[in-house]
């Protein structure tokens, strides 16, 4: 149990701070957006690969189908992070984290559609409440600018991709070591993003590399990718997928605190905070009631 709590908190604290780090790694004072995300996952793969080779960690995927599903998960991750990076150019990191906190509702829908879990009334009510919060947040974004409204749409697209690869990894990575899954996942993500850069045409990388943006990329690669994804994939072995999805309760809190200290150009208005509260209430209805039900079953 202490190891599970430590892994859970590691994911929450690291991913809660990556929203600001993403913004710090790109923009006028950083790297081009697509190059930045590709560099992040390429570095992460280069860091993790020799560790796995030296440790001789296993088992690896046993059949072609598992390999194909893991390849698909990596491509979905590349799509998700591309949408996140471009979306965060338009909205603050704290708001992005809140929008991403609708992911458990998407996961619940996918689990139910696949027959892995039942659809409960609390799931439906929670989804409707959270959707109302997203609409409230979106209404303010439209009042501010079309650009920020587009950012909201990009983040919601990233949620769909993230929920999809979470389901794939939970279902098809059961017999693969978490470290191996992490390496395959990161390597496919990096390869997909590198290919996207080549197809689009590489943009000039600033030289010498900007200090703050470089630190942000290294933090995202080592902590946000290697350590956090390894911890999360280990948690998938120990907990139900819906339980690991509750991480998103913590991420907006951490991200908004970080924004309060570091974000100067973008501020959240009262309506946004009201929307945030509604989203989190919806998530609490959907997920905490599930946790309480599971506890009663164990005691029964």
Question: Per-residue pLDDT tens for 16-42?
Answer: 888 888 888 987 788 999 999 999 999
- In terms of Cα–Cα distance, which of 168, 228, 241, 272 is closest to 14? 228
Compute the average pLDDT of residues 90-100. 71
Rounded-to-integer distance, Cα 300 and Cα 295, Å? 9
CB neighbours of residue 135 within 10 Å: 12
Q: What is the pLDDT of residue 272?
A: 66
How do residues 129-153 score in pLDDT, each as one tens digit?
A: 766 776 666 555 455 567 677 887 8
Q: For the chain, give the percent of residues with pLDDT over 70.
A: 72
CB neighbours of residue 282 within 10 Å: 24
Q: What is the pLDDT of residue 291?
A: 56
Selected residue with higher pLDDT from 81 and 12: 81
DSSP string of 10-75?
HHHHHHHHHHHHHHHHBSTTSB-HHHHHHHHHHHHHHHHHHHHHHHT--PPP-SHHHHHHHHHHHH
Q: What is the pLDDT of residue 39?
A: 95
Compute the average pLDDT of residues 175-181. 92
Q: What is the pLDDT of residue 29?
A: 81
> Sorting pLDDT into bands at 50, 70 and 90, what band is 267?
low
How confident is the prediction for the chain on average, in pLDDT? 80
Tell me the pTM. Answer: 0.80
How do residues 211-241 score in pLDDT, each as one tens digit?
A: 999 999 999 999 999 999 999 999 888 877 7
Q: What is the pLDDT of residue 58?
A: 80
Selected residue with higher pLDDT from 164 and 295: 164
Where are the chain's structural domains?
A: 2-299
> Sorting pLDDT into bands at 50, 70 and 90, what band is 205?
confident
Report which DSSP code applies to 212: H
Examine the pLDDT at 180 and tell me if it is beyond 80: yes
Examine the pLDDT at 264 and tell me if it is beyond 90: no
Selected residue with higher pLDDT from 13 and 251: 13
């Amino acid at each position: 149990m202490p190891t599970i709590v430590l892994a859970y908190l590691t994911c929450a604290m690291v991913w809660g701070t990556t929203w600001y780090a993403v913004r710090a790694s790109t923009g006028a004072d950083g790297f081009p957006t697509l190059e930045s995300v590709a560099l992040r996952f390429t570095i992460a793969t280069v860091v993790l690969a020799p560790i796995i080779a030296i440790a001789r960690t296993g088992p690896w995927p046993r059949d072609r189908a598992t390999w194909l599903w893991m390849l698909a998960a990596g491509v979905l991750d590349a799509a998700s992070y591309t949408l996140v990076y471009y979306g965060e150019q338009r909205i603050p990191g704290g708001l992005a984290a809140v929008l991403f906190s609708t992911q458990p509702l998407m996961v619940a829908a996918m689990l139910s559609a696949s027959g892995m879990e039942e659809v409960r009334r609390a799931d439906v009510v929670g989804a409707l409440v959270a959707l109302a919060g997203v609409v409230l947040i979106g209404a303010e974004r439209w009042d501010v600018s079309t650009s920020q409204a587009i950012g909201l749409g990009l983040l919601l697209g990233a949620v769909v991709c993230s929920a999809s690869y979470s389901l794939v990894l939970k279902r098809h990575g059961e017999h693969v070591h978490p470290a191996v899954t992490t390496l395959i996942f990161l390597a496919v993500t990096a390869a997909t993003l590198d290919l996207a850069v080549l197809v689009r045409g590489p943009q000039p990388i600033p030289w010498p590399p900007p200090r703050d943006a470089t630190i942000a990329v290294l933090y995202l690669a080592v902590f946000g990718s290697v350590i956090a994804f390894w911890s999360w994939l280990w948690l998938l072995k120990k907990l139900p997928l819906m339980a690991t999805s509750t991480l998103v309760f913590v991420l907006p809190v951490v991200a908004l605190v970080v924004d309060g200290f570091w974000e100067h150009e973008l501020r959240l208005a009262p309506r946004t905070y009201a929307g945030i509260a509604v989203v989190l209430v919806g998530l609490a209805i959907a997920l905490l009631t599930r946790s309480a039900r599971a506890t009663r079953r164990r005691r029964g």
